[in-house]
Amino acid sequence: MPEQPIAGRYELVEELNSGGMGDVWRGYDAVLDRPVAVKVVRRQAVAGSPQLAEEFAKRFKREARITARIQHPGVPQVFDAVLDDAYERLFLVMELVDGLPLSAYIRPDHPLPVSWAVAVAAQVATVLSYAHEVPVIHRDLKPSNILVARDGTVKVLDFGIAAILRTDVTKLTATGRPIGTYQYMAPEQVRGGRTSPQTDLYALGCVLHELFSGRHLFNADSEYLVMYQHLNAAPTPLRLLRADVPAALEELVLHLLLKSPEARPVDVQEVYKRLRPFLPTPGGRPAPGESWPQGVPDPTGIFRQPYAPRARVGAGRPVPTTVDPHAALPAPVAVPELLREEIAEAYAHSDALLDEERFAQAAEVLSEIIEPAARALGTENRKVLELRTQRAAIRLLGGDYRAALPEFDDLADAYARTGGPSSAQARACRAQAARCRGELGQVTDALAALRGVLDVARTVDGDVSDEAVELRRDIGMLLLAQGQVPEAQLVLAPLHDDLCLVYGPLDDMSEEVAEALALIELDLDGPAA
C-alpha cells in the first residue's frame, strides 16, 4: 500500500476485508476530516497498459455518475476514484459503514429466524426498487455485497462495480470460462446474454434461499458444474430443507429462481409486496424464537416504523394524448436567425459536456432550447425533431433508459408521419426504443420491434449494412439472454461470417459475436460432463 496519502488526502488506516476484486480499508479523508472506506481494486481488474487503465478509469466515472442517481440510504455513497501513477490500481473512496457482511451471519448449523431473513431481503428489495428505476442493475448481488449495519439497516455495496469491471460474463478468461460470482449467476449471465432487472431478482432468490437454508443454492465440485446447474437443475424447495419456512415464501423463492427472466416476478415491487406479510407490524415486538443475542443487529426494527419501496414508475402520471396520423403535415417554417444561433450554441455547449461525459447536463442544455424552438417552429419541425433525437440519444448513452424510451417512441411516430414509416430516422428511433426496452427487461417486446426494423432495413439496404448488422447482433444477444440458445446461434453464426468478410475478424463487433459463439460452444445448457 502507498506510504503517502492517496491523492494527497486519503490515508489507509486498517484493512477491513479482502475479496476477489480487491481489499477494503478503513481510511481517513484529511481534507474533509472524516472516516472513509477505501476499496483497492486489484491490478488485474484495472488493466495492464496506461491506455487500458485510462479507459477503465473513464468507464468508472461514467458508471459512478449513473449509480449516483440512486437516492437511497441503503446505497453507500462513492466519493472519489483515484488511479495511481503506475496505472495499476484504482482506489475507490466510499462512505464508511459500521457493520458486517450478510455472509457473516449465514451458518448451516444455526438457521436465521424467518423474520430476520425476510427483513434483510425486504430492505434489499427496497434498494433495488430505487436502483431499477434509474435504471441501474447490480449484476453481482450476493451476501458479501450486502452489509448489515449495527442499527439493523441494510446497505447494498458495489452498485455499478460489476459493470465497471465487466464481470457480468461479457468476457471469457484465458481458460474459456465466464467471469463472475458463479454461485449467484442468473442463467442469462452464464450464457453471456444481456442482463436486466430480472437478473438481480434471480440473485436475490439465491440469497434468500441461502438465508433460509444456510447453504448455497447449488453445490458441485467445479464452477462449471454449478453454472450448469443454474441453467438446468431445479432448486431444492426450501420446505424440504427447513420445515418452518412458510409455503408462500418457498413459492416466492422458486418464482425468483425461474430460468427465464420474463417468467420471474414482474418487478422488485412485487417481491416486496409478497415479503410484507412476514414482516413485523409497526409497533410490534419480536415473536418468540425470533430474537437474536444481544449485540447482533436487528434488521426487523426498521419495519416497526414502516419503510417501503418507491412507487412504481408511471403511477399517477398523465397519459399522453394521441395524434391523428392522417392529419395534414405542418408547412415548413423559416428559422429566425437569433433562434438559429441559440440552437447552434446549445449544440456546442451540449457537445462540450458530452466530451466530459456529463450526460444529464448535456441533455438538460438541449431541453432548454427545445421548448422555445417548438413554440416558434412547430413540434414536428425538422430542427426540433433533430434536437429531440440528440437529447434522447444522450439519455440512452448515459444509461437513462426510462427517460429515453418514450422520447424515442414519440420520435419514431413523428418521423413516420413526416418522412414515412420506412424512413431512416423512423427506423433508427424504433430500434433505439427497442434497445431501451431490452435494457429494462422487456425482452419480448424488444425482440419483436428489432425484428420488424430489421425486415425493413434488409429491404432498403441489404443484410450487411451498418444498421442491419447492429440489429442482427442485438437480436442474437437478446435471444441468448432469454436462453433461446439454438435460435441465438442461428442468428449469430451467419452474422459472424458476414462481419469477418466485410469488416474483418479484428473488428470490435466481430470479436464480440465471436465471444458469444464461444460461450455457446461451451454447451453449458447440455448434459453435465
Please state, in angstroms and rounded to a whole number, the distance separating the CA atoms of residues 510 and 217: 36
Same domain, yes or no, for 176 and 213?
yes
Q: Which of 94, 116, 151 is the last residue of a domain?
A: 94
Element housing 12 (H / E): strand 10-18
The gap between the terminal CA atoms of the chain, to the nearest Å, is 43
Domain with 201 in it: what CATH number?
1.10.510.10
Residue 2 covered by a domain: no
- What pLDDT, on the 0 to 100 scale, is given for residue 192? 84
Residue 484 covered by a domain: yes
Same domain, yes or no, for 448 and 351?
yes
- What pLDDT, on the 0 to 100 scale, is given for residue 331? 53
pLDDT tens, N- to C-terminus, the chain (529 residues): 666 888 889 999 888 877 656 788 999 998 888 889 998 876 555 555 667 767 777 776 776 677 778 888 899 888 887 877 766 677 888 889 888 899 999 988 888 899 999 999 999 999 999 999 988 899 899 999 899 988 889 999 888 665 565 543 334 333 444 445 889 999 999 988 888 999 999 999 999 999 999 999 999 988 889 999 999 999 999 999 999 999 999 999 999 999 999 999 999 999 999 999 999 888 767 666 666 656 678 888 888 766 556 666 554 444 443 444 444 445 556 678 888 999 999 999 999 988 888 888 899 999 999 999 999 999 999 999 999 999 999 999 988 899 999 999 999 999 999 999 899 999 999 999 999 999 998 999 999 999 999 999 998 888 899 999 999 999 999 999 888 999 999 999 999 999 999 999 999 999 999 999 998 888 766 665 4
Residue 278 covered by a domain: yes
Residue 155 covered by a domain: yes
Report which DSSP code applies to 471.
Answer: H
CB–CB of 187/483 below 8 Å?
A: yes
Same domain, yes or no, for 169 and 271?
yes
- What pLDDT, on the 0 to 100 scale, is given for residue 78? 80
Same domain, yes or no, for 283 and 174?
yes
Same domain, yes or no, for 283 and 160?
yes
- What pLDDT, on the 0 to 100 scale, is given for residue 319? 40
CB–CB of 474/514 below 8 Å?
A: no
- Sole residue written with cell 488506516: 13
Q: How many CB atoms lie within 10 A of CB 421?
A: 14
Burial class (CB in 10 A: 0-12, 13-18, 19+), 250: buried
Q: Which of 395, 430, 457 is the last residue of a domain?
A: 457
Q: Which of 433, 457, 481 is the last residue of a domain?
A: 457
Element housing 397 (H / E): helix 382-397
Same domain, yes or no, for 79 and 171?
no
Residue 337 covered by a domain: yes
Same domain, yes or no, for 249 and 207?
yes
Residue 320 covered by a domain: no
Residue 312 covered by a domain: no
Cis peptide bond upstream of 265, omega within 30: no
Phi-psi region of 487 (alpha: psi -120 to 50; beta: other; left: phi over 0): alpha
Residue 350 covered by a domain: yes
Backbone angles phi, psi at 31, to 5 degrees: -75, -50
The 10s digit of each residue's pLDDT in 418-429 is: 999 899 999 999
Indicate if the alpha-carbon torsion angle 162, 164, 165, 167 is positive or negative: positive
Which residue range is the domain that position 79 belongs to?
Answer: 10-94
Residue 273 exposure: Cα atoms within 13 Å on the Cβ side: 9
CB–CB of 84/2 below 8 Å?
A: yes
> Which residues does residue 35 pair with via DSSP β-bridges, in sequence order?
28
Backbone angles phi, psi at 496, to 5 degrees: -60, -40
Domain with 39 in it: what CATH number?
3.30.200.20
Same domain, yes or no, for 152 and 300?
yes
Same domain, yes or no, for 437 and 351?
yes
Same domain, yes or no, for 504 and 523?
yes
Strand order in the sheet with 154-156: 99-101, 146-149, 154-156
Strand 34-41 to strand 22-29: parallel, antiparallel, or no bridges (unpaired)? antiparallel
Please state, in angstroms and rounded to a whole number, the distance separating the CA atoms of residues 293 and 347: 61
Same domain, yes or no, for 444 and 421?
yes
* Cell matching residue 309: 419501496
Distances (CA, A) of 125 to 122, 131, 267, 274, 470: 5, 10, 10, 11, 34
- What pLDDT, on the 0 to 100 scale, is given for residue 305? 65
Which of the following is catalytic: 84, 85, 140, 508? Answer: 140
Domain with 376 in it: what CATH number?
1.25.40.10
Same domain, yes or no, for 353 and 490?
no
Please state, in angstroms and rounded to a whole number, the distance separating the CA atoms of residues 221 and 185: 17
What is the domain count for the chain?
4
Tell me, yes or no, if 140 is annotated catalytic.
yes
